[in-house]
Structure 1
């Protein structure tokens, strides 16, 4: 199973195949509000979808770490960005558990809403990250390619999380902060611009790891620990 997922996610058609997988799972599923109301087919579909979504979040976290490392190697050498006062992430106001142990104290429904809000909060930021990086000095083409892949997978994760919410009878609350860092990414000062990209990608890595942790806990609570 893991091998087939890896092959699927590494292919050029990964986004299309991943979304098709959601649709195939969704065809035989109806919204249900409690564990007791889920039949075997629904529970099986939920397990497959959460397995797929959790695996995708692991891939996104890994790819974001590679993007951060490559950006630092290309643009942050000798600039001591890590010694500066870090910029505040635009998602910092969310009440997010800091580790897996704290996450276990939250309900799956609460974590799903939090994951969806985190993913939605990156829609504009990722779009500008991809678009504005082309103005960087040197050759940022590899970074742009990685950022686009991450952007596509964030969209896929959002679709997956929304589907899981529907499967367990949860209505998503569209609450997420607006990102307002475009001016700093377009600064005429190269150092300001580089540090802004560094901060944005650092925040992206922080949130992608949180999403992965929360989805693992959600899967544990709804599937591994379930009595359905």
Structure 2
């Protein structure tokens, strides 16, 4: 069928012509309908205003959630510290029982045990003052005693190294969590 300009075009034919026309213009950037500079600034200002309102709302919502989470965070920190009570106790005994143990290492492990207990008591005090009546979480039992007691020196040294690495990681978490809570409780999230 041959089309002439006098025959009516179908809607499909019009769409085909429009699409082919758009393809010819693929590298052309369209210009805004309104070139008024004030309009552009107003529109940008509205975007900033809306974004600021959303950001403030999100910040407030986060603060509310973190306040509700504060007692749980304290409980987590107490659980982390409490988990180390028995491993450190056994570590002191095992290192003291080993022949050829350096006195410096033994004194540092004893100090770790003491400081962990002090930290646990301090965090319990914070929990009682910040959230009176809050109960502590249960904590899991330590399963690594067999490796620390191993007669195989490689297994024993690996277990000690792993234990100390995990203790450092957990104490780093506690430091971070304490800083977050201090910011929330003492400085009213203004840090």
Distance 1:153 1:173 in 2: 20
Q: Could you tell me how far 1:140 is from its partner in structure 2?
A: 2.4
Structure 2 unaligned regions, length at least 5: 1-65
State the TM-score, normalized to the length of structure 2: 0.60
Query: Residue 163 of structure 2 corresponds to which residue in structure 1?
Result: 200
Show the counterpart of 1:129.
91
Which residue of 2 is the match for residue 158 of structure 1? Answer: 120
Q: Deviations over 1:86-133 (max 9, x none)?
A: xxxxxxxxxxxxxxxxxx698221210100110111110110111111
Aligned length: 124
- 2:76–2:137: 8 Å Cα contact kept in structure 1? no
SS of the aligned residue for 1:171 comes to coil
Contact 2:67 2:184 in 1 (8 A): no
TM-score normalized by structure 1?
0.50
Post-superposition shift, 1:152? 0.8
Tell whether the 8 Å contact from 2:71 to 2:134 is kept in structure 1 after alignment: no
Q: Is contact 1:133–1:144 with CA below 8 Å preserved after alignment?
A: yes
Asked if the contact 2:95/2:101 (under 8 Å) is kept, the reply is no
Query: Cα gap change, 1:106/1:205 in structure 2, threshold over 3 Å: closer, same or farther?
Result: farther
1:118 aligns with 2:80: yes
Partner of 2:184: 221
CA contact (8 A) 1:121 1:176 kept: yes
- Superposed CA offset, 1:142-199 (max 9, x none): 1111111111111111111111111122412231110021111111111111101011
Question: Which residues of structure 1 form unaligned runs of 5+?
Answer: 1-103
- Could you tell me whether the CA contact under 8 Å between 1:134 and 1:140 is conserved in 2? no
SS at match of 1:162: helix
The structure with the largest alpha-carbon Rg is 2
1:171 paired residue number: 134
Map 1:1-228 → 2, pairs under 5 A:
107-136=69-98, 138-168=100-130, 169-225=132-188
Equivalence for 2:11: none
Q: Relative to structure 2, which stretch is displaced further, 180-189 or 165-174?
A: 165-174
